[in-house]
Amino acid sequence: MKKGFEMNDFGKMSYFLGIEILQLQQGIFICQRKYAIEVLKKFRMENCKTVNTPAAQGEKLIKNDQARMIDAGQYKSLIGCLLYLSATRPDIMYATSLLSRFMHSPSEVHYRAAKRILRYIKGTTDFGVLYARNAEIKLVGFTDSDWACSSDDMRSTSGYCFFIGSGMICWSSKKPETVAQSTAKAEYVAAAHVVNQCIWLRKLLLDLKHEQVNATEVLCDNKSAVAIAKNPVFHGKTKHINIKYHFLREVEKEGQIQLKHCSSEDQVADIFTKGLPKMKFEKLRESLRVCSSTNVKEE
């Protein structure tokens, strides 16, 4: 490349667009510690008390909560900062995505929930994602949905994540465009969206000379959704589901993906769909390979 372009070699990359990169013996660790501290200072939360989770378990937020309205500009700025921080902090993805739904008319309740995320970040500023050394380049996905959790329109919240080897490469938490009439439909629709992402990742890996020869496993904790994907005879349960979501069946038949059942305890994507109790949240956070830079250096 030096022959074709003018460039300088500054050695190993350690900082890029606000992301700090540690290249260690056991792998690569990325975080946004400096940026997280700057965000805390910007919103005067550098001396706040810490909490163990970014979202309170069971808390329901609505648009018209009758609370006093706040400055939308400041709220949007905070959510924007948190969304950028979620590039290396998947553990705040659900809480941030949930609060982004109220940017047009935020209230004190919404702002208080956003400040809870900052309080969580205060205690975990040096957290990031570890990509440990692993010889196997195998793509694995997780998909989950929390049925009818939105009090405003009764829509679900779906989440997914994909791993290659030991590292998580993409994750998402969002509200789908349709209202699901059952938990099975909510999970099936979420899985159908994940399949589109899965196919794109398989093609990307093929371009990078890492072809996925076997079907990519996508793990779902709902047995009915898995059964619908494998058995087209489920007419009574599936006739109300839009035809476009049955693309999942075709892809499974072709052997590109394999929708498999997993227990709710092992469902990593659960962290992207709801507020969790402290013990379960920390367990899933560890499964995402989100940890402290201090612990990585000590290994």
Count the neighbouring beta carbons within 10 Å of the beta carbon of residue 9: 5
Phi, psi at residue 189, to the nearest 5°?
-65, -40
What is the predicted pLDDT for the residue at 166?
A: 78
Please tell me the least confidently modeled range out of 151-165, 189-203, 234-248.
Answer: 234-248
pLDDT tens digits for range 132-164: 877 678 899 999 988 877 776 778 889 999 998
What is the predicted pLDDT for the residue at 297?
A: 62
CA angle in degrees (0–180, nearest 5) for 54-218-239: 100
Which letter, b or e, does each residue of 177-194 get, where b requires 16 or more Cβ atoms within 10 Å of its Cβ? eeebebbbbbbbbbbbbb
Q: Global pTM?
A: 0.88
User: How would you class 113 by CB atoms within 10 Å of its CB: exposed for 0-12, middle for 13-18, buried for 19 or more?
Assistant: buried
pLDDT band at 30 (very low <50, low <70, confident <90, very high): very high
Distance CA 219, CA 225 (A): 11
Provide the total of helices (H) and of strands (E) in the chain, helices listed first.
10, 10
Show the domains of the chain with their CATH numbers: 32-125 (no CATH), 135-287 (3.30.420.10)
